[in-house]
Amino acid sequence: GENVEQHPSTLSVQEGDSAVIKCTYSDSASNYFPWYKQELGKRPQLIIDIRSNVGEKKDQRIAVTLNKTAKHFSLHITETQPEDSAVYFCAARAGSYQLTFGKGTKLSVIP
Amino acid sequence: GAGVSQSPSNKVTEKGKDVELRCDPISGHTALYWYRQRLGQGLEFLIYFQGNSAPDKSGLPSDRFSAERTGESVSTLTIQRTQQEDSAVYLCASSLQGFTGNTIYFGEGSWLTVV
């Protein structure tokens, strides 16, 4: 089955700096890669996703890049703000339905 | 409702008791998923429903765990003879269909504590 590795497990940045979280996946058939943000005690919420026919996608301060050859994808957050502090999960989906998640990255933005 | 609803939001139970966790998916969503999240950990897949059928039960950790879905709507996850290691947040999610690219929406979760 699919295996998703996520790094780093924790990340601290100064407010205004950029944050980058990286994930690798094992199943070359995976073709959908969402990122979820989970605030403490809250549900995971989709913040951005990318499909395998696209190399990069941006939404305001958030961008995701995908390298299918190397089987890795990354989340980039620019101009970080304290409200970006949360746990971020990457995921990969091969075939019809099952999302396999990484173990999460706890991002702390220091004011 | 507007989102995925789960109940109870919190449950404390004694070791050895059975518990039932309920999920109401977003109306019209045919795909439903259960995930488990232990404290500070990632999301562990448990089971997937397409309609009322569960084509993939591979994530259920033991035969103490079972789930059903009726009316292509409500799902119940049952844990029998609960153990302390069952303590976790149980997250339900749904999507329009179980196909690649359909966004999966999560509920707030049911926090289970086994004492």
| pLDDT, position A99 | 85
A101 touches chain B (CB under 8 A): yes
- pLDDT band for position B2 (cuts 50, 70, 90): confident
Distance CA B48, CA B34 (A): 7
Q: Which of the residues A3, A90, A97 would you substitute to probe the B interface, choosing the one with the greatest number of B C-beta atoms within 10 Å?
A: A97
Structure token digits, residue B96:
């329009």
**Chain B closest CA to A29's CA: distance in Å?**
11
Nearest CB to B99 within list A96, A100, A104: A96
| Residue B30 backbone phi and psi in degrees, to 5 | -90, -20
| pLDDT, position B98 | 62
| pLDDT, position B100 | 61
| pLDDT, position A88 | 97
- Nearest one of A79, A78, A99 to A35, comparing CA atoms: A99
CA quadruple A48, A52, A57, A62: dihedral sign: positive
Mean pLDDT of A73-92: 97
Please, what is the average pLDDT of chain A? 93
- pLDDT band for position A22 (cuts 50, 70, 90): very high
> Radius of gyration of chain B from Cα atoms?
13
| pLDDT, position B101 | 64
| pLDDT, position B90 | 97
| pLDDT, position A96 | 62
| pLDDT, position A54 | 80
| pLDDT, position B40 | 82
Chain A residue numbers with beta carbons less than 8 Å from the beta carbon of B48 are 97-98
Q: Find the residue in B nearest to A91 (Cα).
A: B43
Whether residue B66 is predicted with pLDDT greater than 70 in this model: the reply is yes
Mean pLDDT of B102-115: 93
- Nearest one of B114, B105, B110 to B37, comparing CA atoms: B110
Structure token digits, residue B30:
């045919």
| Interchain pair B106, A97: CB under 8 A | no
Q: Find the residue in A nearest to B31 (Cα).
A: A97
A97 touches chain B (CB under 8 A): yes
Mean pLDDT of B7-23: 97
Percent of all residues in chain A with a pLDDT value above 90, rounded to a whole number:
78
A49 touches chain B (CB under 8 A): yes
Whether residue A66 is predicted with pLDDT greater than 90 in this model: the reply is yes
Whether residue A74 is predicted with pLDDT greater than 90 in this model: the reply is yes
| Interchain pair A98, B56: CB under 8 A | yes
Q: Find the residue in A nearest to B56 (Cα).
A: A98
